[in-house]
Structure 1
């Protein structure tokens, strides 16, 4: 599962990028995503989260929809990481961990999602707005083998799409 952080607040231009909090719209989007995660019974066995405040706050706001005992690793290396860095991190995961939620930033999270899909499925994720969630199914049982076109498309939702579904 690949989740982009929810919309952040740009009201204070003095706030360093890594310390920008969620906006009101971002907090509302988290409610929709959390509800979707609960309805779909998406349950990660490990959460990898960027250290930025907006990603940590996104995770806090969807936490009630996730298993309470799921380990969370908050890592500086995921902050604004590109697709190669994100892929390298996923390849380090132990094969005994079947489901991961990776919470990060664009453009890296979008490029990773598209790059992991075979060409016909790439058009299903043409953009990756804030609080969008892509679910991809591994084509392999080994994280170390994760690579270009190695997954199958599962689903892709955005807050806007979830709002319209209500």
Structure 2
């Protein structure tokens, strides 16, 4: 079975005056709606990951939790990975290469620039810049995550909140 990677950028975030760190930034009202709509879109299109690797920042957790209201992915299949926060594409790439082969559709929930850079690296993309709540579904023509490398992904789906 081929491997698929669902790359998700967190929804639109606010920076309220009382929030002192980037890590603690919550979603805006617009971001809440984007994340809810994304959950509906994924469920409608039968895109339900068997593993979620998510940045532990407030806005990524909120995004995933709202998406998961539709998908109902069990807690045992969710990993909050500290290295995803502010990660470069090289760090994200290492995470992907080290995924367990028992997982066939994995979602990576994170931040720009790393998320978009990973998308472009894996797909030889045309400098795609995922907007908040944007997703890309990549497919790899093999069965081992260690084989994932530069330019080997086929983009099966790009979806932006305004779609």
TM-score (norm. length: structure 2): 0.91
Q: CA deviation at 1:63?
A: 0.5
- List runs of 5+ in structure 1 lacking aligned partners: 162-166
- List runs of 5+ in structure 2 lacking aligned partners: 1-5
In 2, distance between residues paired with 1:14 and 1:68? 30
Deviations 1:125-159 (A, max 9, x none): 62210000100111221101111011111000110
Counterpart of 1:98 in structure 2 is: 104
In 1, distance between residues paired with 2:72 and 2:44? 13
Deviations 1:75-118 (A, max 9, x none): 1111011100001001111111111000000000000011111x
Whether contact under 8 Å (1:6, 1:55) holds in the other structure is yes
In 1, distance between residues paired with 2:132 and 2:102? 30
Query: Alpha carbon RMSD of aligned pairs, Å?
Result: 1.4
Q: Greater RCO between the two (CA within 8 Å, min separation 6)? A: 2
Whether contact under 8 Å (2:52, 2:78) holds in the other structure is yes
Q: CA deviation at 1:64?
A: 2.1
Counterpart of 1:142 in structure 2 is: 144
Runs of 4 or more consecutive aligned structure 1 residues displaced over 4 Å after TM superposition: none
Counterpart of 1:22 in structure 2 is: 27
Question: Which of the two has greater helix per residue?
Answer: 1
Report the number of matched residues: 157
